[in-house]
Each structure stands twice: as structure tokens, then as C-alpha cells.
Amino acid sequence: MRGYSVADVALSARDKKALLALIEKAQLVYLLTRYPKKQVLDDAGDAQKLEDGLAEMRAAAKDLSAKIREDHGLIRWEELDKEPDSPDLAWRVAKRVTPTVIRELMPLLEGEPEAAFFLRPEAPKTRAKAAKRGAKTGGRRPRRSQNGTPR
């Protein structure tokens, strides 16, 4: 369908409210995961903020409609729904789920004034260097002579 955008789909007031709450909570968790793991988990206050943020994300995600959950299968909803047993597990869930939640759900809120200043995580980087080499030489490294110059 040409010209179709995810933002064109009308959200119910309930879903819009739940999306705003979920992404707002995900922002704090995402920012905590930008710091080194040891720094966050060694500080009891930061570790508690991380766990509280995940709990608030979990509560906001429960308010979303089933259609939004089905339409966004890249988000690991089952991993978000489980309460982590330890701060280390909470860190792993935050690192895996939070950027995807923000990246996948932000297009639904395009044009909303409340979402204008939300962070937008970068997409995971691909291994471009290996891909370039494979395109030039068919996946092989060029042969070199004994003195190091190409043959």
C-alpha cells in the first residue's frame, strides 16, 4: 500500500496514553543503560531506578491493546512481562528490550506534541567492513607477497 504510514493509523485515547507512559518510562531505563553496567549495578540507587523503571514499563505495557502488541512483534513482550530475579538480569532485559520498544513504538506517536523531545535510539550497527571486503574480492582477502605488497 503506497503512501501508507504507521502514524496514519488512528490510536485510541487509551492506547495513546499507554504508549506515552511506556515510552516515557523507557527513556529513563534507556539512559541508564548508556552508562557502564558496573557503574549502574554497583550503585544501589541506580540499580533500584533501573528495576523500578522496568516495573513501570511492564505496567504501562499491560495497558496497551493486543493489536499493538501483535503488530510490533520485534519487541520481546514476554521478556518485558517477566519480573527479573536479579539486578544483572534486569540489566540484560533493559539492554535488549528498551531500545527496541522506543524504536518500534515512536512512529505511532509522530506528530504528537508530547513525544516531540523523546530520544530515538540508533539502529544496531551492521558489520559494514566485512561486507565491503566481500563485495570487492568475493569474500577472500587479497593475496600478498612476502614483502607485504599485493601481487
Q: Where are the domains of the chain?
A: 12-124
pLDDT recorded at residue 151: 61
- Residue 30's nearest CA partner among 108, 121, 106 is 121
Mean pLDDT of 7-22: 77
pLDDT recorded at residue 5: 46
What pTM does this model have?
A: 0.69
| Model confidence pLDDT, tens digit, residues 125-151 | 676 555 555 555 566 666 666 776 666
Tell me the residue type at 36. P
| 9 has a pLDDT exceeding 70 | no
- Enumerate the H helices of 34-148 as residue ranges: 37-42, 44-62, 66-71, 77-81, 87-105, 128-137
CA distance 60 to 144: 58
| Model confidence pLDDT, tens digit, residues 32-78 | 999 999 999 999 999 999 999 999 999 988 888 888 888 887 888 88
Mean pLDDT of 4-30: 77
| Model confidence pLDDT, tens digit, residues 83-116 | 888 999 999 999 999 988 888 888 888 877 776 6
| 3 has a pLDDT exceeding 70 | no
Tell me if 105 sits within 8 A of 19, measured CB to CB: yes
pLDDT recorded at residue 72: 84
